[in-house]
């Protein structure tokens, strides 16, 4: 590559091996095509089926003796792979469509001096504080947002530290507090900085949460009380910590050629079978029904998705929206 750097793409996952079968091959193919990017899976806890999957397809895996939430899962990756210039953390329900999103974010980091970007479905930024134009891309700044896709500079992560170990007891939350540290340290103009024009490089899925914490209050900004209490402390740095012992499989970092090769045919979901494959295809067509360039293309994609999976939740949501739009 004419512009060499080292970047790590990490997929965080727990109790969703089916999602890896659906979406990981596309990330693998991108990393084979662009060797500046390495791929690793971070499993919160341990599961023999995950280990077997990653061993079979020769994908590096980091896992732990105990489940402690996605924040500690990310800390384990940083502890083992702490020498990259750029880091990308993706949740396991994020489906890649266009790998250009990764070098595009590296270019945005460099052009803007912003050390932390997020990305998710358009319109999901909450508490918007403004917009700026960077290298021809509009960046929306805000106070809150989800953690589906986050990119960081290694320099920025070393400055703010890791995800707070407080959240291990809940096995969730912590990404907002971590993002606010970038803003406090002057490393980002807002906690959430989103290149919304790049949102369509992914399909955003919304499966049920793996973990629910009962009896925890949320404020008007949808922040859990323990996280808000920690945010009120205005921390600027939290030392990188892990708690439970963690391990890696015997697969070294490198181009995940074996997994990428399953995409050599025309099938988009080659290691998924039966009804699950039909649902995946339906999800893809419903995404196409929003992003196709022509009205005919959008209509054909919507009809195809409906035929493959009439009970698809996204289809029901879209139909409800149409009914509400046309209701008197």
Residues 54 and 115 in one domain: yes
Asked whether residue 201 falls in the same domain as residue 244, the answer is yes
| pLDDT confidence of residue 17 | 95
Residue 146: pLDDT above 80? yes
Same domain, 318 and 207: no
Q: Contact at 8 Å (CB) between 152 and 82?
A: no
The reply to whether 256 falls in a domain is: no
pLDDT band at 328 (very low <50, low <70, confident <90, very high): low
Largest CA distance in the chain: 61
Report yes or no on 232 lying in a domain.
yes
* Domain assignment present for 316: yes
Judge if 213 and 310 occupy the same domain. no
pLDDT in tens, 113-138: 999 999 999 999 999 999 999 999 99
Contact criterion met (CB below 8 Å) for 25 and 260: yes
Percent pLDDT > 70 in the chain is 98
**Are 190 and 45 in a shared domain?**
yes
In terms of residue numbers, what domain contains 321? 274-326
Q: Kindly report the CATH number assigned to the domain that includes residue 143.
A: 3.90.550.10
Tell me: do 113 and 213 sit in the same domain: yes
Q: Are residues 12 and 130 in the same domain?
A: yes
Q: Examine residue 182 and state whether it is found in any structural domain, yes or no.
A: yes
In sequence order, which residues have a C-beta less than 8 Å from that of residue 89 and are 6 or more positions away?
Answer: 10, 12, 74, 147, 149, 150, 151, 152
| Tens-place pLDDT, residues 198-253 | 999 999 988 888 888 788 999 999 999 999 999 999 999 999 999 999 999 989 99
Res 162: pLDDT: 98
Task: Give the span between the Cα atoms of 202 and 266, in whole angstroms.
Answer: 19
49-57: long-range contacts (C-beta < 8 A, 24 or more apart)?
49/17, 50/13, 50/17, 50/20, 51/249, 53/17, 53/20, 53/21, 54/249, 54/251, 55/249, 55/250, 55/251, 57/24, 57/28, 57/256, 57/258, 57/259
Tens digits of residue pLDDT in 151-181: 999 999 999 999 999 999 999 999 999 999 9
Residue 321 has pLDDT above 90, yes or no: no
Domain count, the chain: 2
Regarding whether 227 and 171 lie in a shared domain, the answer is yes
Q: 52 in a domain, yes or no? A: yes
Do 318 and 193 lie in one domain? The reply is no
Q: Supply the mean pLDDT for the chain.
A: 93
What CA–CA distances, in Å, run from 112 to 14, 178, 184, 216? 34, 20, 17, 38
Q: Is the pLDDT of residue 326 over 80?
A: no
Q: Is the pLDDT score of 32 beyond 80?
A: yes
Domain membership of residue 257 (yes or no) is no
Q: How far apart are the first and last CA of the chain?
A: 57
Q: What is the pLDDT of residue 236?
A: 97
Domain co-membership, 285 together with 225: no
């Amino acid at each position: 590559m004419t512009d060499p750097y080292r970047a790590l793409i990490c997929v965080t996952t727990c109790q969703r091996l089916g999602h890896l079968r659906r979406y990981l091959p596309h990330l693998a193919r991108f990393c084979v095509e662009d060797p500046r990017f390495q791929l690793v899976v971070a499993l919160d806890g341990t599961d023999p089926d995950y280990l077997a999957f990653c061993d079979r397809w020769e994908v590096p895996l980091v896992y732990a003796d105990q489940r402690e939430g996605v924040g500690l899962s990310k800390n384990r990756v940083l502890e083992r792979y702490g020498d990259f210039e750029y880091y990308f953390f993706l949740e396991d329900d994020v489906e890649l469509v266009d790998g250009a999103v990764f070098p595009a974010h590296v270019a945005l980091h460099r052009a803007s001096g912003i050390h932390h970007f997020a990305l998710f479905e358009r319109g999901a930024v909450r508490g918007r504080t403004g917009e700026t134009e960077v290298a021809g891309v509009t960046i929306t700044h805000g106070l809150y947002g989800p953690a589906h896709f986050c990119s960081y500079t290694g320099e920025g992560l070393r400055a703010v530290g890791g995800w707070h170990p407080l959240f291990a007891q809940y096995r969730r939350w912590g990404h907002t507090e971590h993002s606010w540290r970038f803003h406090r340290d002057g490393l980002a103009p807002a906690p959430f900085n989103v290149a919304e024009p790049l949102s369509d490089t992914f399909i955003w899925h919304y499966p049920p949460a793996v973990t629910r914490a009962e009896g925890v209050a949320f404020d008007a900004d949808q922040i859990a009380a323990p996280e808000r209490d920690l945010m009120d402390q205005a921390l600027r740095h939290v030392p990188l910590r892990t708690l439970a012992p963690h391990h890696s499989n015997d697969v070294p970092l490198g181009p995940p050629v074996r997994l990428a090769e399953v995409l050599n045919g025309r099938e988009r979901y080659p290691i998924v079978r039966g009804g699950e494959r039909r649902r995946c295809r339906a999800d893809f067509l419903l995404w196409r029904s929003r992003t196709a360039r022509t009205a005919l293309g959008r209509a054909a994609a919507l009809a195809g998705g409906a035929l493959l999976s009439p009970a698809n939740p996204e289809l029901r949501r879209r139909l409800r929206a149409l009914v509400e739009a046309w209701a008197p």
